[in-house]
Amino acid sequence: MSSESDVQKFPDDFEWGVSTAAYQIEGAVHEDGRGRSIWDVFSHAPGNVARGDNGDVACDHYHRFPEDVALLRDLGVGAYRFSVAWPRIQPEGRGPAEQRGLDFYGRLVDELLDAGVEPWLTLYHWDLPQALEERGGWRNRDTARRFADYAALVHEALGDRVTRWTTLNEPFCSAFLGMATGEHAPGVREGHGALAAAHHLMVGHGLAVQAMRAQRRGEERFGITLNLSDVRPASADPADRSAAERLDLLHNRVFTDPILGGVWPASEREVWSDISDFGFRQADDLALIRQPLDFLGVNFYCPAYAKFAPTADPDPGHRSAAEIDVEYAVPPELPRTAMGWPVEPEGLSRLLCRLDEEYRELPPIYITENGAAYRDEIDATGAVSDPERIAFIAAHLTAVRTAMEKGVDVRGYFCWSLLDNFEWAYGYAKRFGLVYVDYEDLRRIPKASYYWYRDMMRAQGPS
């Protein structure tokens, strides 16, 4: 098992943190004026989530946040990345703010600051107000405008205390897992609609950054978090190489090319012209989407190996945007996590170096999520040993350090996640936390990885 001394030295000002998301931990879905989100609706529909789980209670962070902040303080992280639930602020996705929702996040921010932990606030981690979905959701450009209004409300209330602002978390999942594969809320399989959603998410990002910068009052920094994949062909076969290019488009370039490069992806019309005319775009959208960023958040869990696999019985013009004649092929020699995801830390180094090579004026990068699910259990002594997670984190930190030594400007690392939580379509069956949550009584039990991460940060010295 890796020890904290195995991790290379990082710069003294390197930021160490952990991450969570509102719907995954908060619970209290019917309290203090909170409206319904698409995940409330999706998780309560039979067959969508493993074992019929939902986020109604989750980790009950809404009531137990002082206990969770105490865990952060004792862990010794310098920063905590959390998300705001849009339906707590605007139950219908529009109109004036629900003050009780703003007050909750104000109390959380104050508790964090009192504990010496910097709050990193994410505005959107997938919990779109259901009322907006019923008006078209992210297919509709008006949702991007509503998102900017919401961002301005939250920023106006908390911008005096929160300096790090992230607009979107993982728009790939919102657009394509939610609206092309149907694995996530709202649970549909669309072609043009999913591509329109991806575009309007980026438009919403641009509008939100503009709105918050217009009312900036101090040291606020603005960015976005993308979950990016190191995409590789499963073999040297030209068909697999072509498949990898299409998967790279879907996973990465749809977002990185406009946001970081100010261009539309070169191959998009070849891949999707039969299902979309891209009529959702307007003349000045590229300039709007490519707002100057103070940082880029990168979420990384595993590489993606692409194999050519023709879509069975394609229905021209009606296929989903994710049906691109590709399947995932995990090399058999790679170990896997409890999610079935391959473990290859070198993929993170390759990804970071590629970003640095391909995009000029790349902003400073923060690894805003990295972690793994394993089969954690409480032993006879009441402890939770998770050596595989420790090894996973240590190896990926080595990968980050390798990229930094090659010149990539990485400024921080956030482990996913502080707590075991509602893992979306997997419900409570998968555990990513540094802290074990007993879902019967909601006890928090720090795992061995929690203490390893604490000791590793201490060994690093000043932060």
How far, in Å, CA of 17 to CA of 416, rounded? Answer: 9
User: Is 6's pLDDT higher than 90?
Assistant: no
User: Is 430's pLDDT higher than 70?
Assistant: yes
* Mean pLDDT computed over every residue of the chain: 97
Phi, psi of 249 (to 5 degrees): -60, -50
* pLDDT in the model for residue 298: 99
Active site residue 369: yes
Element (H, E) at 328: strand 326-328
User: Is 1's pLDDT higher than 60?
Assistant: no
User: Is 213's pLDDT higher than 70?
Assistant: yes
* pLDDT in the model for residue 313: 63
* pLDDT in the model for residue 271: 97
How far, in Å, CA of 279 to CA of 193, rounded? Answer: 11
* pLDDT in the model for residue 72: 99
Active site residue 170: yes
Of 15, 26, 133, 170, the catalytic one is 170
Which whole number is the average pLDDT over 72-85?
98
Beta strands in 339-402 (DSSP E): 365-369
Q: What is the pLDDT of residues 13-56, one digit of tens each?
A: 999 999 999 999 999 999 999 999 999 999 999 999 999 999 99
Q: How confident is the model at residue 4 (pLDDT cuts 50, 70, 90)?
A: low
pTM of the full structure: 0.98
Q: What is the pLDDT of residues 270-305, one digit of tens each?
A: 999 999 999 999 999 999 999 999 999 999 999 999
Of 111, 220, 344, 369, the catalytic one is 369
User: Is 2's pLDDT higher than 70?
Assistant: no
* pLDDT in the model for residue 318: 83
User: Is 312's pLDDT higher than 80?
Assistant: no
Are the CB atoms for 45 and 187 separated by under 8 Å?
Answer: yes
* pLDDT in the model for residue 433: 99
